[in-house]
Copies of this chain bind each other. A is one copy, B any other.
Amino acid sequence: MAESKKEQAPNNGAGTRRRGDVLENAILQAAWDELETTGYNRLTMEAVAVRAQTNKTAVYRRWPNKAQLIIAALIKFAPKPSLEAADMGDLRTDVLTFLQGIFKPLQAIGAETIHGLMSEYPGKEHPMSKPLPPRSEDALFAAMKAIVGNAEKRGELQPDRLPERVISLPVDLLRYEMLTTHGSVSEDIVVQIVDELFLPLVKAVAQAE
């Protein structure tokens, strides 16, 4: 009798109403799925709610807008590059493997999403969780510094000769290419960046004899 109100429990027969982390994860998962199938621009809060089998209210209770929601979804579900600096014996190999390792993760997020986020994001008055952090806090930059540090320890480079701009050059250019190339970026861009730009530069500035 009292059960008649349930009208065929809408989910599985077990505990019906999700809460807290369970619901939060379901929403983030839905946002990530929606992002992959629909793309950032056409993604709507309502579609995310529907896919998560909940409603907009539950979404807005947690994230105030689309940008914040998607950032949270990226943090949780986007493929993360390995940030441990490979240490294989020479600088070229280390940088190449590192860049190749971040290539696919960057590509998985996609230019449309980045542009959308950076376009919509408040920026001012919002010093938290930006899509692209300043260089000093950038994990990819830190990884490159570690790689260069290893090469210095091995004696490949004279210490402290490389300006920050040189160290960040490969990651910056890779990101630039991802942002501005509609369609897919060929993976050999990584090799070009290393062999035509980074290594000649290193050689000119700081290579030990």
Contacts and interface: CB of A to CB of B under 8 A. Distances in A.
A196 B112 contact: no
A41 B204 contact: no
Ordered nearest first, which 7 A-B pairs have the shortest CB separation? Answer: A204-B204, A115-B119, A176-B176, A123-B182, A116-B119, A200-B204, A163-B196
A124 B182 CA distance: 8
Contact of A40 (B119, B163, B179, B204): B119
Interface in A89-130: 111-112, 115-116, 118-120, 123-124, 130
A194 B115 CA distance: 27
Contacts of A183: 123
Nearest to A179: B179
Contacts of A118: 111, 115, 179-180
A142 B204 CA distance: 26
Interface in A181-198: 182-183, 192-193, 196-197
For this chain, the copies found in one complex come to 2
Label chain A's interface by main secondary structure: helix
Contacts of A182: 123-124, 130
A203 interface: yes
A118 B179 CA distance: 9
Nearest to A132: B180
A172 B176 contact: yes
A193 B176 CA distance: 15
Contact of A203 (B175, B179, B180, B204): B204
A169 B197 CA distance: 9
B119 A41 contact: yes
Contacts of A179: 118, 176, 179
B165 A197 contact: yes
Q: Residue among A111, A175, A183, A200 with the most chain B CB within 10 A?
A: A200
